[in-house]
Structure 1
């Protein structure tokens, strides 16, 4: 959610490096920004609003020092304001802290500090931390020990970084919120996400739960909670800073929609044998077919989880998709032979990590399906399968959702490879081989921009589908509401008549997913007729195998293909529908209001 950047020993002015890092983290979602530069004194500047407001406040000023930290805040405690923006300081201004996460016991700590005469200047939970550090300094502790003492008192989730006047070091710690170090040539960095410093180094060190780090201009080290040194592997990130740019597209979202053919090829590479008609996911070798599977996910990933559960159910496996937030707080019965699969693009989604940890506490085997190498979920689960979509900067997930659906097809076939109930997969392999090219065909020929023009001013938008199209209808509605800010809902097509039909009017466009010519298609056409009879305009996304277009006001065409891959093509059309409507409405497509890319609070 919030973004953190830190630098020790910058070649350029420290404030310039921090602003560059914050610019690279704008995609995460935020409502204020600030920096603190340390040296003999700590200088702080922070502003409500976009990063441009902070840059204006710094115009004509260069803050330079040996170390510095910066932050983009996504509000949890207290509304967006200059006072609530990070970094936060103690009363004397000698300590500055940035923080991602939530300090759950902040109220008790604040009451204790206020009883001692400490004055607070913000409504945030974070501000207790610099005051606790200052209290330890006043008691005679050195800066590193003071930082550790403060952290020991915290309950909740945190990625913390602090600078102290007179000390050329950044002190950092993580618990349930990601931090990564960037190891440069003479300069070292820390951040909540790699793009913050990717232009300066691709060598990284991932902090694990409970670890502390100290960065100085010439050195870095990591220690455990007891202060013992931890040997960390320096890894090299495969992608480059250029891959996180817009490459000439107006928005990251549009770029990433158009990157889907490449992303799907990357997901499939080395896993699909067309000659043998086999699917092999080497990282899942030795994973036995379970009697039951629980999928855990949030948001877009939850829609992928529902799709994965349907695939397993069709193969005779008892599979259920759970919202991670509900699973974590209302843990269902879990048999020892249950396989629990966490799906999270970032690998840092707090609700999903919490749910997986509770499942692991029951002794079950876990699998992570994620996009980010070295993420927390990848390190904590027993097995990990990467979807290989490449960096996704736009807040609204696009190419990662398509890659999750493809990845789930591979996962299911690997899981059931030795099961007699598993049918021949040659047709699926052929469809997967053709899929990237078919996605490109949809991108090249889509009429989504023309279609949305017909519905400017509509009051609400419905998306309907059956079977494997139902999760895509849910995702289509979510994508639409995320970036257009217009009301949209996804429904199982057969459920319209059980209540939602009361909302259908001439101002309620209905997007219906109708492919093939089987029972699901015929019944969905029946549902199309229901809304047509109420005067609702209808858009069908179809492969032309049925006569659905006869009942539609507009048609978005997709190629005919396997029943398991055709929803991926339908999804691309719905992504374009959302994008073009949001663009016509003038929305902030890459940074939708109130949302963040990586949701690291529960």
Structure 2
């Protein structure tokens, strides 16, 4: 979840580190800091709070140097504080480290190092790393880092500098993302590409247990035996502006408006009328699909709700049983999974720790794994058997919007591909669905026109403490996502229920004035949904509905209705979620919340 940046070159490190960290703010953080080699000594500045606090400190007490590391921390061990902030150093301040991930055996290491005379100031797991490196240091920083990692269990991406080797920066990754940026007579390490994009488009994507050494001679990558590894340069093709707000007030609003393009890009070259579905990085055969006895869709948060829609789509079109699992729970229930099972993991970053854990379990059991991810070169994309990239582009706001829509699109593409291979849907029906999907970008654009009425609704309900979201069929999946968005960025308690479940308990919560958001985009279930709306209205609820154009009768029951373009039932979530995204956004604005960086949340959750 944290962001790390490192710089080695011939320019002042401090402003470049801060610039890089500012591009990683989307990952979520509660403190920030830098360590820079100045006149042969390591100087550290760090503090709790936003990056601006660090900038202010550096303005008051500048650090001048050409080599440094920086960090934005999201607390896992120890509360947010100046002391717990990164970078962390050994007692003599000759070695300094930034770390993304979690050292699972840190208590054991801490106890051992204490017995060896080492002292600890913080509550963090990270502080064991500089002390470990110090313990093994005998004049060669790389060798010391290698030996330290042999002792460490867990996940990490770390950057290390040492007073005794001021012209060197060493970094390594295991289960946490790390890239290398290649400039002219300078180089960078970072958790993600946006951190270096202002300076270079040439990067190396590091694999697990690959060590990188930045020196005046350039960049060298080696394995744990110090054998050099040659890598191809990955050329970043998306614009730097893609990581900026582009004139919108917030990244989230910008990304909501980017959804028509994101959906279109995700379908491009994969879906064409009259042509078979083409999946560039999925090599599963027709025979393998025929043998599948079960599909597991495993994900967290918003991606999980995309998986719920995926279950409906795959079961309806391909007639394969599907289970949708929360990644953090999957391996602990001893799932029945074998070589005839398929796992689809869904992760925007491709670095979600719980999801990667499920992926690895599936592979141990002999199952095939398809990764649906937005990040080229991510751990998920490298470890899965097959990959379907969602092509949403960089998503900066912590609350996911365009990544979610592209995940839905990916689910439909996979379902269509399976149906095509199995012959479970007629050619005519497949072509109808493809045509509908290709029209979705325009319909998403149309759905965005509800902004003003949704904004007015948010203003009218901004003082509510609780809200309920109702839906049937795939509308229930959309209701789950709508409730999550509202919780994430406006901090309003919201719950989603399958509307037919109301009578089995939740209806007891409905009283005079209770706000209910009702989704009614399913033709087959519309009349039943109207009946469920009447049930809450009769108990005093205020109902705000989302329905497809043409359903005027819902106005007779609901207090207000937002209409979205008409789409076949199965594909309706793509347009139905748009008003809910906008509602959560404008609600957060009305309540004065930090839209792009909601409290306690992180974009990429890289610890279990």
In structure 2, the partner of 1:156 is 154
What SS does structure 2 have at the residue aligned with 1:538?
strand
Deviation of 1:281 (Å): 2.3
Does the alignment pair 1:532 with 2:537? yes
Deviation of 1:230 (Å): 1.4
Residue pairs, 1:121-132, within 5 angstroms: 121-132=121-132
In structure 1, the partner of 2:438 is 433
Deviation of 1:257 (Å): 0.2
Does the alignment pair 1:543 with 2:548? yes
| Structure 1 residues 223-244: Cα deviation after superposition (integer angstroms, max 9, x where no partner) | 1222222121111011121110
What SS does structure 1 have at the residue aligned with 2:130?
helix
| Structure 1 residues 503-541: Cα deviation after superposition (integer angstroms, max 9, x where no partner) | 2223421111102432x1111111111111111100110
In structure 2, the partner of 1:272 is 271
In structure 1, the partner of 2:78 is 78
Aligned-pair RMSD on alpha carbons? 1.4
In structure 2, the partner of 1:24 is 23
Contact kept, 8 Å, 1:279 with 1:410, in 2: the verdict is yes
Contact kept, 8 Å, 2:99 with 2:126, in 1: the verdict is yes
Deviation of 1:208 (Å): 0.7
Partners of 1:221 and 1:506 in 2: how far apart? 67
Does the alignment pair 1:257 with 2:256? yes
Partners of 2:394 and 2:383 in 1: how far apart? 21
Normalised to the residue count of structure 1, the TM-score between the two structures is 0.97
Unaligned runs of 5+ in 2: none
Residue pairs, 1:99-114, within 5 angstroms: 99-114=99-114
Partners of 2:213 and 2:506 in 1: how far apart? 56
In structure 2, the partner of 1:466 is 472
Contact kept, 8 Å, 2:371 with 2:388, in 1: the verdict is yes
State the number of aligned residues. Answer: 597
Contact kept, 8 Å, 2:284 with 2:386, in 1: the verdict is no
Deviation of 1:335 (Å): 2.9
Deviation of 1:277 (Å): 6.1
Partners of 1:277 and 1:433 in 2: how far apart? 13
Contact kept, 8 Å, 1:515 with 1:545, in 2: the verdict is no
| Structure 1 residues 262-281: Cα deviation after superposition (integer angstroms, max 9, x where no partner) | 1111111112212x165332
What SS does structure 1 have at the residue aligned with 2:519?
strand
Partners of 1:121 and 1:491 in 2: how far apart? 47
Contact kept, 8 Å, 1:277 with 1:429, in 2: the verdict is no
What SS does structure 2 have at the residue aligned with 1:182?
strand
Does the alignment pair 1:521 with 2:523? no
Normalised to the residue count of structure 2, the TM-score between the two structures is 0.96
Deviation of 1:60 (Å): 4.2
In structure 2, the partner of 1:143 is 141
What SS does structure 2 have at the residue aligned with 1:373?
coil
Unaligned runs of 5+ in 1: none
In structure 1, the partner of 2:498 is 492
Partners of 2:284 and 2:26 in 1: how far apart? 38
Contact kept, 8 Å, 1:38 with 1:166, in 2: the verdict is no
Partners of 1:285 and 1:103 in 2: how far apart? 36
Deviation of 1:285 (Å): 4.5
Partners of 1:166 and 1:113 in 2: how far apart? 21
In structure 1, the partner of 2:604 is 598
What SS does structure 1 have at the residue aligned with 2:403?
helix
Residue pairs, 1:204-215, within 5 angstroms: 204-215=203-214
Residue pairs, 1:549-568, within 5 angstroms: 549-568=555-574
In structure 2, the partner of 1:69 is 69
In structure 2, the partner of 1:362 is 365
Which residue of 292, 295, 302 corresponds with 1:293? Answer: 295
Partners of 2:504 and 2:285 in 1: how far apart? 41
In structure 2, the partner of 1:227 is 226
| Structure 1 residues 284-340: Cα deviation after superposition (integer angstroms, max 9, x where no partner) | 254332332111100000001111011112132111111111112223011321111
In structure 2, the partner of 1:303 is 305
